[in-house]
Amino acid sequence: MVRFPTLEPSRWPRVAAALAALGFDALDVPLVWREHETAPGEFDFATGARDLDAMLAAARDAGLRAIVRLGPIATDDAPGLCLPERVLRDRACQARTRRQNPVIVPDPPRAAPLPSLASRAYRAEVA
């Protein structure tokens, strides 16, 4: 998987063309929450490495389909489970053990608290 936001946008067309030349027919495009949210509830899908239209155009121009993955946890290679720091650190969003300690997930190079799907605060964040 090539995560286009980790590359300089000027390289996207060449990378997409190279993938097509290798025989790939689609790009996997995970939308990582923490990379697109600029402030709580405010998102940027148009600037620099966040430019979703340019990413999709690079895929289209290379003859590739794009598989856009949404969700709070869209890929396993982004830090912090793809979640903004404010959500990760919000105790009300965290899964808890029987002793009420946060459940920690190894997320090299560090660990991250696991969000709880049962948490109203977490569900309100992702809604």
Backbone angles phi, psi at 29, to 5 degrees: -120, 90
User: For the residues 62-80, what does the mean pLDDT come to?
Assistant: 89
User: For the residues 27-53, what does the mean pLDDT come to?
Assistant: 93
Which residues are bridge partners to 94 per DSSP?
115
Lowest mean pLDDT among 2-6, 13-17, 18-22: 2-6
Distances (CA, A) of 92 to 34, 118, 124: 18, 10, 11
Can you say whether the dihedral through the CA atoms of 99, 101, 102, 103 is positive or negative? negative
Name the average pLDDT for the chain.
92
Global confidence as pTM: 0.81
**Residue 107 clears pLDDT 90, i.e. is over it:** no
User: For the residues 79-83, what does the mean pLDDT come to?
Assistant: 88
Residues 46-52: contacts with CB under 8 Å, at least 24 apart: 48/9, 49/4, 49/5, 49/6, 49/7, 49/8, 49/9, 50/5, 51/9
**Residue 96 clears pLDDT 70, i.e. is over it:** yes
Classify residue 108 as exposed, middle or buried by CB count within 10 Å of its CB (0-12, 13-18, 19+): exposed
- In three-state secondary structure terms, 123 is helix
**Residue 56 clears pLDDT 80, i.e. is over it:** yes
